[in-house]
Structure 1
Amino acid sequence: MQSFFKTLSLGQQYMKLWPMRKELYALFPECRVISATRFGVQWMPPVAILSATLLLNHFGSAHIPQTLTMVLLILGLPLQGLWWLGQRADSQLPPQLVNWYQEIYQKLREHGCQMSGYKGKPRYWELAGLLKRAFSELDQAFTRECL
């Protein structure tokens, strides 16, 4: 059970790290998953309470098991997004993205950015950090060129 909570925590951290830029929406599903997860975290608890209230008011206490099942389903939707993000953050990059990662890493070093040690097998977590740094420290011409 501990790895489940570690994965959710990693997903939450990855959600904060990933740069939400319009240039990345077409390339990575993270942007859409993060948007949906943030929406779910914000709105699903009130929706669950409203649904439970309406169902119990309309059908009465005879339908408590169905009401609880629906509430758990609604509350579980944001957890699915966090789980997916946590799994994704810990996944290694495919070979095509490793080359792209190396290219961005080299461009950052050429522009004089202090970089930590290069990872031989980078994960999506490292890619998110690298992209966030590239968007914050380099000019728009570079980001248009690399993306």
Structure 2
Amino acid sequence: MALSVISMFRQGHKYMNTWPMKKQLYAYFPECKVISATRLAITTMPPIAVVSCAMLLNTFGADYLPQTIAIGAFFLSLPLQGLLWLGHRSNQALPPALKNWYREIHSKLQQEGCSVHSFKSQPKYKELAALLKSAYEQLDQVFTRSWFD
């Protein structure tokens, strides 16, 4: 099923807000680094684009307007690239090793009586993100620490 670019941006933004940003996850998943870089780009790239365009126009004048627009568009596209990657990643199926880990975490949450979403036989990264987020919110640190030892 092909998704539109706008829906990929929305899913990327939702995935970015769902993924738990815990230091234990940085070593195992690139999401943490991509989310950090994307959040930084969302806040810094628009001002950088405006300043760089203003400096180019001030220095070189209107003769360099196409180059100025290209540089501004480049800086503005950086956060969008991160959101697009996150949107694509959220819809990918988990590899077999992560599927087993997903099952293990889901069963531990159910054993502890925590509220969890229904079990997915073919989970995707977005389901893993929601499960990890609920695990970090509802379980003690003793349980979550054992997953990364």
* TM-score in same-fold range (> 0.5): yes
Displacement after TM superposition at 1:135 (Å): 0.6
Displacement after TM superposition at 1:2 (Å): 6.8
Which residue in 1 is equivalent to 2:111? Answer: 110
Q: What letter is aligned with 1:108?
A: L
**Does 1:19 find its partner at 2:20?**
yes
User: How many Å separate the matches in 2 of 1:143 and 1:77?
Assistant: 33
**Does 1:144 find its partner at 2:119?**
no
RMSD: 1.2
The number of equivalent residue pairs is 147
User: How many Å separate the matches in 1 of 2:73 and 2:56?
Assistant: 14
Q: Name the stretch that deviates more: 112-121 or 4-13.
A: 112-121
Which residue in 2 is equivalent to 1:74? Answer: 75
Q: Percent identity?
A: 51
Displacement after TM superposition at 1:94 (Å): 0.5
Which residue in 1 is equivalent to 2:5? Answer: 4
Q: What letter is aligned with 2:17?
A: K
Distance 1:39 1:61, change over 3 A: same
Displacement after TM superposition at 1:9 (Å): 0.4
Deviations 1:91-126, CA, capped at 9 Å, x for gaps: 110001000000000100110113332100000000
Q: Secondary structure at the match of 2:4?
A: helix
Q: Which runs of at least 4 in structure 1 moved beyond 4 Å after TM superposition?
A: none
Which residue in 2 is equivalent to 1:42? Answer: 43
> Which blocks of at least 5 consecutive residues in structure 2 are unaligned?
none
Q: What letter is aligned with 1:129?
A: A
User: How many Å separate the matches in 2 of 1:2 and 1:14?
Assistant: 15
Q: Secondary structure at the match of 1:112?
A: coil
> Which blocks of at least 5 consecutive residues in structure 1 are unaligned?
none
User: How many Å separate the matches in 2 of 1:53 and 1:115?
Assistant: 51
Q: What letter is aligned with 1:55?
A: L
User: How many Å separate the matches in 1 of 2:55 and 2:94?
Assistant: 46
